[in-house]
């Protein structure tokens, strides 16, 4: 094999540590090149925010690979077609890490079929999960639909495995370039430059992912169970975009957490977040229909409401409910939204406005830096009550009480909704109750400078429950 060139197909794996495909190639070949294939069809008006992350990931990872004399080539097009350009007589071995998603698995099948026909050597490795979904089932071989028993078995399965090697990438003697038509990295960036704001908040690199993990272990995880629900506190890990794009492997996170001596409630709560990610990947692989519709089929007849005006108000953070608006503005500004607030804004869309969860899923897909199909669709179906182990539909988050509980003094709201910065704490989640004199004293007019609620909470709740009754009778 050493005489053959190694081509490593990069996807969601911009890292040197625990990158099995890349490390294997460097150990077994004298010449190694990496390739990233950008498929515009998978991103155009669908995953715009992630284009910014990928662009910077490519720049930073290209520099990192250069230290090992490994080139990084960018090609634009359909992955199957691009890799099919490898000719039969070329002395090339292809390597990649799997992505545990049905569409990606189908893509890999087409690629391996072409490679087999041409008799081109290839090898693929486990993706960025602790265990592959087929390894975690009930005793009768059927998949889990409830999180707690799934995670109990999944943890046990993973712990019984042989630990993965902490192998290092080997430096090559010289760089090689396999494709002559490598593209300009700028082609990855979206046309609209709203993403420029992201630079204030994120550095998409493997080095920075290590810093984020260290901050979690050193400063956050012990109190994670106490702080994770309060959006004004830096209590969450914020590692999700790095995990999504593979700047860090989930095993690295797991093992760093496992080295903590005091494994308290905070540790357990965070590990469960890892578990939900594993559970979500299991769900979409066993039930791929989830990616296009309700897992619970009774919701197919749910009377959703089409209301473009309300949908736009929700997207722009102009609903009149300050905690909802703060979350949606944080999302647009940073490409990320606090997990507690994700649930609040999600519940508001599907239960107060009764707009189909697919609209929310689509908007999050386009604006989230940490979007992955499994987490996104499972999360939205959990909120809507139509997924596996979901919150019951009749559990309707009250945005007023949620705000008063988790952002009592309005610190988070005032950060993202600056027009409310002078509003007294007792009115910050009930702006419409503010008397005229108070409004004048702080130079704001509710209904003009900040909207009145687009729906009444009590009435919206009542209508949501009536709609739910229609599918349960």
Q: What pLDDT digit, counting tens, does each position of 158-216 carry?
A: 988 877 777 889 999 999 999 877 788 989 998 888 888 999 999 999 999 999 999 99
pLDDT of residue 1: 52
Q: Are residues 274 and 420 in the same domain?
A: no
Q: What is the mean pLDDT of residues 45-67?
A: 96
Phi, psi for residue 384 in degrees, rounded to 5: -75, -15
Helix spans in 85-193 (H): 102-118, 147-159
Alpha carbon distance, N-terminus to C-terminus of the chain: 65
Q: How far is residue 195's CA from residue 334's CA, in Å, rounded to a whole number?
A: 8
User: Which pLDDT score, from 0 to 100, does residue 365 have?
Assistant: 97
Q: Which domain holds residue 270?
A: 128-164+206-286
- pLDDT at residue 2 in the model: 61
Q: Say if residue 455 is in the same domain as residue 346.
A: yes
Clarify whether residues 14 and 68 are in a common domain: yes
What's the mean pLDDT in 5-34? 96
The pLDDT, as a whole number, for residue 190 is 86
7 φ/ψ angles, rounded to the nearest 5 degrees: -115, 120
Q: How many folded domains does the chain comprise?
A: 3
> What distance in Å separates the CA atoms of residue 472 and residue 297, rounded to the nearest whole number?
12
Q: Are both 454 and 306 inside the same structural domain?
A: yes
Q: How many CA atoms lie within 13 A of 299 on its CB side?
A: 23
β-pair partners for 94: 7, 122
Q: Would 181 be classed as within a structural domain?
A: no
Q: Is 67 within the bounds of a domain?
A: yes
∠ CA 350-367-416, rounded to 5°: 80
Cross-sheet strand order for the sheet of 92-97 = 71-76, 32-38, 5-10, 92-97, 122-125
Same domain for 348 and 449? yes
Q: What pLDDT score was predicted for residue 44?
A: 86
- Give the SS3 label for residue 405: helix
What ranges in 3-146 are assigned the alpha helix state H? Answer: 20-28, 48-66, 79-83, 102-118
Within this chain, do residues 414 and 302 fall inside the same structural domain, yes or no?
Answer: yes
Residue 416 has pLDDT above 80, yes or no: yes
pTM above 0.75, yes or no: yes
Of 53-67, 139-153, 166-180, minimum mean pLDDT range: 166-180
**Pair 52, 155 in one domain:** no
Q: Which helix (H) or strand (E) holds 345?
A: helix 339-347
* Tokens encoding 400: 């007023």
Tokens linked to 252: 């690295």
Same-domain pairing of 135 and 278: yes
- Of all helices (H) and strands (E), which one includes residue 437? helix 436-441
Instruction: Give me the percent of the chain exceeding a pLDDT of 70.
Output: 99
For residues 102-126, average pLDDT: 96
pLDDT at residue 23 greater than cutoff 90: yes
Q: pLDDT tens across 225-247, in order? A: 999 999 999 999 999 999 999 99
Does the residue 152 lie in any domain? yes
Residue 70 has pLDDT above 70, yes or no: yes
> Would you tell me how many other CB atoms lie within 10 Å of the CB of residue 214?
11
Per-residue pLDDT, 270: 96
Domain annotation covers residue 200: no
Give the separation between CA 96 and CA 471, rounded to whole angstroms: 45
- Residue 157 and residue 278 in contact, taking contact as beta carbons nearer than 8 Å: no
**Residue 197 located in a structural domain:** no
Question: For position 223, what pLDDT does the model report?
Answer: 94
Among residues 381, 385, 365, which one has the least CA distance to residue 373? 365
Same domain, 32 and 42: yes
Contact predicate 239/248, CB 8 Å: yes
86 within a domain of the structure (yes/no): yes
Q: What are the percentages of helix, strand and coil residues in the chain, rounded to 5?
A: 55, 5, 40
pLDDT of residue 164: 74
- Tell whether the model's pLDDT for residue 3 goes beyond 80: no
Decide if 34 contacts 70 (C-beta within 8 A): yes
Examine the pLDDT at 145 and tell me if it is beyond 70.
yes
Residue 23 and residue 167 in contact, taking contact as beta carbons nearer than 8 Å: yes
Alpha-carbon Rg of the chain, whole angstroms? 24
Interval 292-325: pLDDT, tens: 999 999 999 999 999 999 999 999 999 999 999 9
Residues of the chain with pLDDT > 90, as a percent, come to 88
Asked if residue 259 belongs to a domain, the reply is: yes
Based on the domain organization, do 42 and 132 belong to the same domain?
Answer: no
The pLDDT mean for the chain works out to: 94
Residue 276 domain flag: yes
**C-alpha span between 446 and 431 (Å, rounded):** 7
Mean pLDDT calculated for residue range 114-133: 95
Lowest-pLDDT choice from 178-192, 393-407, 447-461: 178-192
Is the per-residue pLDDT at 420 higher than 90?
A: yes
Please name the residues in contact with 398: beta carbons below 8 A apart, sequence gap of 6 or more: 457, 461
Clarify whether residues 351 and 269 are in a common domain.
Answer: no
- 250 and 149 part of one domain: yes
- CATH label of the domain that carries residue 66: 3.40.50.620
Contact in structure between 433 and 439 (CB atoms under 8 Å):
no
């Amino acid at each position: 094999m050493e005489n053959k060139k190694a081509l490593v197909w990069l996807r969601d794996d911009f890292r040197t540590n625990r990158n099995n495909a890349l490390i294997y190639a460097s150990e077994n070949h004298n010449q190694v090149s990496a390739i990233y294939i950008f498929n515009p069809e998978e991103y155009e008006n669908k995953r715009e925010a992630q284009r910014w992350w990928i662009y910077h990931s490519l720049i930073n990872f290209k520099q990192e690979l250069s230290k090992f004399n490994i080139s990084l080539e960018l090609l634009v097009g359909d992955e199957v077609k691009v890799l099919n350009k490898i000719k039969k007589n070329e002395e090339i071995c292809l390597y990649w890490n799997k992505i545990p998603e049905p569409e990606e698995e189908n893509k890999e099948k087409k690629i391996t079929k072409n490679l087999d026909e041409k008799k081109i050597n290839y090898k693929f490795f486990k993706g960025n999960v602790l265990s592959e979904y087929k390894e975690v089932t009930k005793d009768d071989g059927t998949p889990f639909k409830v999180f707690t028993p799934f995670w109990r078995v999944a943890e046990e399965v993973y712990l019984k495995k042989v630990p993965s090697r902490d192998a290092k990438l080997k430096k090559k003697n010289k760089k090689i370039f396999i494709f002559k038509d490598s593209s300009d990295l700028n082609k990855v960036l979206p046309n609209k430059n709203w993403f420029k704001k992201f630079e204030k908040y994120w550095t998409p690199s493997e080095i920075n992912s290590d810093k984020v993990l260290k901050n979690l272990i050193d400063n956050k995880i012990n109190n994670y169970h106490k702080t994770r629900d309060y959006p004004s506190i830096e209590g969450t890990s914020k590692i999700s975009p790095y995990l999504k794009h593979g700047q860090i492997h989930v095993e690295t996170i797991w093992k760093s957490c496992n080295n903590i001596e005091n494994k308290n409630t905070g540790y357990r709560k965070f590990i469960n977040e890892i578990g939900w990610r594993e559970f979500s990947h299991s769900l979409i692989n066993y039930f791929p229909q989830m990616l296009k519709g309700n897992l619970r089929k009774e919701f197919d007849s749910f009377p959703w409401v089409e209301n473009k005006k309300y949908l736009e108000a929700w997207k722009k953070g102009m609903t009149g409910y300050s905690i909802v608006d703060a979350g949606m503005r944080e999302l647009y500004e940073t490409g990320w939204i606090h997990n507690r607030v994700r649930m609040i804004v999600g519940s508001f869309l599907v239960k107060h406005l009764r707009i189909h969860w697919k609209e929310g899923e689509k908007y999050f897909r386009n604006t989230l830096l940490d979007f992955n199909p499994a987490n996104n669709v499972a999360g939205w179906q959990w909120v809507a009550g139509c997924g596996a182990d979901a919150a019951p539909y009749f559990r309707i988050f009250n945005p007023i009480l949620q705000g008063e509980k988790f952002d009592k003094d309005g610190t988070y709201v005032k950060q993202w909704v600056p027009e409310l910065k002078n509003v007294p704490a007792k009115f910050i989640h009930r702006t419409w109750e503010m008397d005229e004199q108070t409004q004048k004293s702080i130079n704001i007019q509710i209904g003009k400078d900040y909207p009145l609620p687009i729906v009444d909470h009590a009435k919206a709740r009542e209508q949501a429950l009536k709609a739910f009754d229609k599918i349960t009778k």
